[in-house]
Structure 1
Amino acid sequence: MTRKMIGLALALGGTLAATLATAGPAQAATPTVQISKVYYNSPGSDNRSNSSLNAEYVRLTNRRSSTINLKSWTLRDKSRHVYTFSGDVRLAAGASVYIHTGKGKNTSTHRYWGSGAYIWNNTGDSAYLRDSAGKQIDSCSWGSKGSYTSC
Structure 2
Amino acid sequence: MLKKMLIAVGLAVVTLAATATPAAATEYQSALKIRGIQYNAPGTDDNRCSGGNTSEEYLTIKNYSKTATINLRGYLVKDAAGNSFKFTADHYLQPNDYVRLRGGNGSDSDKNNVVYRDNCNFIWNNTGDSIYLYKPSGAGADSHSYKPSRDDADGNGYITFH
Report the counterpart of residue 74 of structure 1 in structure 2.
Answer: 76
Amino acid at match of 2:121: A
CA-to-aligned-CA distance 1:18-37 (integer Å, 9 cap, x gap)? xxxxxx9xxx5663111001
Contact 2:28 2:141 in 1 (8 A): no
CA-to-aligned-CA distance 1:59-93 (integer Å, 9 cap, x gap)? 00101122111111101111111111112211100
Answering whether residue 143 of structure 2 is matched by residue 139 of structure 1, we say yes
- Of 116, 120, 130, the match for 1:126: 130
- The share of aligned pairs that are identical, in percent, is 30
Matched positions, count: 125
Q: Distance in 1 between matches of 2:28 and 2:145?
A: 18
Q: Distance in 2 between matches of 1:128 and 1:45?
A: 26
Q: Distance in 2 between matches of 1:54 and 1:34?
A: 21
SS of alignment partner, residue 106 of structure 1: coil
Report the counterpart of residue 18 of structure 1 in structure 2.
Answer: none
Q: Distance in 2 between matches of 1:148 and 1:30?
A: 25
Report the counterpart of residue 47 of structure 2 in structure 1.
Answer: 48
Larger radius of gyration: 1
Report the counterpart of residue 60 of structure 1 in structure 2.
Answer: 61
Contact 2:28 2:142 in 1 (8 A): no
Q: Distance in 2 between matches of 1:139 and 1:29?
A: 8
Q: Show the 5 A alignment for 1:107-122.
A: 107-108=109-110, 109-122=113-126
Structure 1: gaps (5+ residues):
1-23
Q: Distance in 2 between matches of 1:84 and 1:37?
A: 18
SS of alignment partner, residue 121 of structure 1: coil
Structure 2: gaps (5+ residues):
1-13, 15-26, 150-154
Amino acid at match of 2:148: S
TM-score (norm 1): 0.77
CA-to-aligned-CA distance 1:21-56 (integer Å, 9 cap, x gap)? xxx9xxx56631110010000000012244510000
Q: Give runs of ≥4 in structure 1 deviating > 3 Å.
A: 28-31
Q: Distance in 2 between matches of 1:116 and 1:69?
A: 25
CA-to-aligned-CA distance 1:89-116 (integer Å, 9 cap, x gap)? 1110000000001111111110001112
Q: CA RMSD in A?
A: 1.7
